[in-house]
């Protein structure tokens, strides 16, 4: 399972590795889908045979949980299942999919509301699971890029209205030991920082990068519809239990946005 290094390969938000769909790909994909749907209406027996030939599926974010488990039962020979951003996915959903789909080789649950490692602890060794953006599961690790650290913290802060204690503690866990007290004080006392708790959306853009330091601009759409601009400074830890990990070392409010390079940008959440 790739629980941390997957942060470097996500294509939804990383502009320099976006998937490019070519016309032949679309024709093949649509043809296979239409063929599958047509075969299923002939008879129940043929429908079962058609379902067994399905090897890969991707669900829409609004898909209900019953649809996911229903497909897992019918298409039990599926090898790749992508559930990224699907709001209905919970721990039990993942457990059911792993149990039902014995041939599954890849399971994508990026940005899903998973709450504990129990949901994926029983996975077979051949199954690769992408949990990028699952902020409750991830902890500081040297394979997580600085951009992904900021993203995880912002996702946690965005959830502070509904799960304040857990979300706030998770955001704090990705700050450097030297900055942690200031971070906690600012987020709990300073009005300009409190406004970002439970924000509507955010955009992250790289500002500058070196071997040991990294900075990015975060544009945050607050609940009051105003946009706040902040400069987040990251530092790679040299000593202690988090040596080699990127952690937030400072956050600075800006009067307005700055011109930024487009590469390595994380689009709006």
Residue 201, domain CATH: 3.10.450
Amino acid 10: pLDDT: 28
State whether the Cα torsion 97-101-102-103 is positive or negative.
negative
pLDDT in tens, 149-204: 999 999 999 998 888 889 999 999 999 999 999 999 988 887 778 888 889 999 99
pLDDT tier for residue 32 given thresholds of 50, 70 and 90? low
Residue 34 is assigned to a structural domain of this protein: yes
State how far the Cα of 234 lies from the Cα of 249, in Å rounded to an integer.
Answer: 5
| 151, 122: one domain | no
| 117, 179: one domain | no
Torsion of Cα atoms, 23 then 25 then 29 then 35, to 10°: 80
Strand partners, 2: 130
pTM: 0.77
**Burial class of residue 249 in the structure, from the number of CB atoms within 10 Å of its CB (0-12 exposed, 13-18 middle, 19+ buried):** buried
- Identify the DSSP state of 128: E
State how far the Cα of 30 lies from the Cα of 35, in Å rounded to an integer.
Answer: 8
What percentage of the chain reaches a pLDDT higher than 90? 56
Tokens 């011109």 correspond to: 259
**Span 209-215, average pLDDT:** 84
**Span 143-150, average pLDDT:** 95
CA angle centred on 65, ends 39 and 97, rounded to 5°? 75
How large is the C-alpha radius of gyration of the chain?
A: 21
| 119, 171: one domain | no
Residue 119 is assigned to a structural domain of this protein: yes
The answer to whether 86 touches 57, Cβ cutoff 8 Å, is no
Choose the final residue of a domain: 99, 132, 165: 132
Residue 19 is assigned to a structural domain of this protein: no
H-helix segments, 127-210: 146-158, 164-173, 180-189, 191-194
pLDDT tier for residue 75 given thresholds of 50, 70 and 90? confident
Choose the final residue of a domain: 132, 161, 196: 132
What percentage of the chain reaches a pLDDT higher than 70? 76
The answer to whether 193 touches 200, Cβ cutoff 8 Å, is no
CATH code, domain carrying 54: 3.80.10
Domain range enclosing 172: 146-253
Q: How many domains, in total, are found in the chain?
A: 2
């Amino acid at each position: 399972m790739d629980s941390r290094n997957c942060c470097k390969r996500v294509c939804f938000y990383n502009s320099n590795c976006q998937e490019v769909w070519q016309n032949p790909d679309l024709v093949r994909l649509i043809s296979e889908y239409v063929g599958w749907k047509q075969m299923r209406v002939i008879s129940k027996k043929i429908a079962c045979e058609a379902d067994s030939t399905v090897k890969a599926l991707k669900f829409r974010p609004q898909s209900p949980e019953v649809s996911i488990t229903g497909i897992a039962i019918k298409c039990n020979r599926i090898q790749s299942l992508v559930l990224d951003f699907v709001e209905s996915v919970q721990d039990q959903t993942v457990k059911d999919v792993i149990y039902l789909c014995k041939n599954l080789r890849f399971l994508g649950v990026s940005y899903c509301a998973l709450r504990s490692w129990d949901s994926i602890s029983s996975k077979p060794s051949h199954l690769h699971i992408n949990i990028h953006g699952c902020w409750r599961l991830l902890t500081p690790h040297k394979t997580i890029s600085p951009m992904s650290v900021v993203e995880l913290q912002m996702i946690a802060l965005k959830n502070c209205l509904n799960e304040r204690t857990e979300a706030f503690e998770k955001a704090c866990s990705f700050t450097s030991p030297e900055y942690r007290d200031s971070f906690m004080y600012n987020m709990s006392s300073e009005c300009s920082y409190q406004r970002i708790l439970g924000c509507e959306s955010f955009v992250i853009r790289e500002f500058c990068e070196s071997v040991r330091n990294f900075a990015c601009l975060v544009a945050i759409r607050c609940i009051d519809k105003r946009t706040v601009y902040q400069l987040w400074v990251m530092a790679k830890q040299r000593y202690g239990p988090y040596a080699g990990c990127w952690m937030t070392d400072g956050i600075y409010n800006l009067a307005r946005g700055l011109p930024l390079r487009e590469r390595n940008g994380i689009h709006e959440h």
